[in-house]
Structure 1
């Protein structure tokens, strides 16, 4: 359970960092690199973000299924 408490925030930070990487690639105004290079870099960063998000979602589902984490929502009436 402690591993999940550490792993989930690290995954969120990686997702946000990947989104920031895409923003930097989009905003960079280098005249030396063409639009194709910039688009490729941005697409790679956004693809990584999607992959990390799907992996995190699958990890949370697996952890719940394996009993590593328990739901702690409001009690049902």
Structure 2
């Protein structure tokens, strides 16, 4: 599970870096640049939501346990 989360974070950061590259790229065609950037940001948002849902599902199934301060203390 740890490796899956690590790979997901790397993919999210890679997508964010890709969007930054497309934003900073000096392209003659502004529409293509913004389309690529929007696609990369959309992938990042979608993948972040998927990661959150997977972590929530793993917690509900008992595969992972929360740690830290207990509720009510």
Report the TM-score when normalising by structure 1.
Answer: 0.88
Matched residue, 2:24: 27
1:4-43 equivalences under 5 Å are 4-31=1-28, 34-43=29-38
SS in 2 for 1:74: coil
Number of aligned residue pairs: 72
Unaligned runs of 5+ in 2: none
Which structure's relative contact order is higher, taking Cα pairs within 8 Å and 6+ residues apart? 1
Q: Are 2:61 and 1:66 equivalent residues in the alignment?
A: yes
Structural RMSD (CA)? 1.0
> Unaligned regions of 5+ residues in structure 1, if any?
none
Residues 1:50 and 2:45 aligned together: yes
